[in-house]
Amino acid sequence: MDLDDSSSLSIYYLERLLQEMVIGILVDHARSRVLPQSPSAFAAAQAVIGSQCSDPSLRPSVVAEQVGLSLRQIQRSFSAHGTTIEREIRRERVEQAIALLRSPDYAALSVTEIARYVGFSNGSGLARAMSALGNPSPRQVRTLSTSNDTKNVTSHPRVVT
């Protein structure tokens, strides 16, 4: 074997090694892209948020840990759905607060108490989050639901026997 043959052989093996390394990197990259975008990972994360959103310590890292994926994978999954984990936590908390504000069963609670119950630190945090999502203020939601309840009660004709 002369020198030219050994250098040709070395070049060939070096090229093969580089090809395998590049393919390995591409496969790893493709796997990391496919997994977090799977609907089951997103749905699982949404379920965690829905069930734990009233916990003030709920953070994206907690959601990722509960789902069993890395924080970055979960962030990519939410990004593929056009949102963020933080936004979905806030949206879920606002939805729960609105439901409580509209419910006559929770009329005795103040806005601050409802805000704390759904995971906000205070009433103004809830009001800011509601405003950012295009909702009326907590007080307006409560007032509108109270006036609608009154209208519903008085709009039914009384039957006198």
pLDDT tens column, 12-38: 767 777 777 777 777 666 655 544 445
Q: What is the mean pLDDT of the chain?
A: 82
Q: Please name which of 149, 147, 144 lies closest in space to residue 130, comparing C-alpha atoms.
A: 144
Domain assignment present for residue 9? The answer is: no
Domain assignment present for residue 118? The answer is: yes
What is the per-residue pLDDT for 119?
94
Handedness of CA 118, 119, 121, 124 (dihedral sign): negative
Q: What Cα–Cα distance (Å) separates residue 117 from each residue in 50, 53, 62?
A: 14, 10, 19
Q: Check whether 149 has a pLDDT greater than 60.
A: no
Question: How far is it, in rounded angstroms, from Cα 101 to Cα 161?
Answer: 36
pTM value? 0.67
Please give the average per-residue pLDDT across 117-141, as a whole number.
95
The residue with greater pLDDT, 67 or 17, is 67
Q: Check whether 121 has a pLDDT greater than 80.
A: yes
Domain assignment present for residue 111? The answer is: yes
CB 142 within 8 A of CB 101: yes
Domain assignment present for residue 96? The answer is: yes
Q: Check whether 10 has a pLDDT greater than 50.
A: yes
Determine the distance from the C-alpha atom of residue 50 to the mean position of all C-alpha atoms in its chain, rounded to a whole number: 9
Domain assignment present for residue 2? The answer is: no
Domain assignment present for residue 155? The answer is: no
Domain assignment present for residue 102? The answer is: yes
Please give the average per-residue pLDDT across 87-91, as a whole number.
96
What is the per-residue pLDDT for 158?
37
Domain assignment present for residue 123? The answer is: yes
- What residue numbers bound the domain in which 121 lies? 87-141
Could you give the number of structural domains in the chain? 1
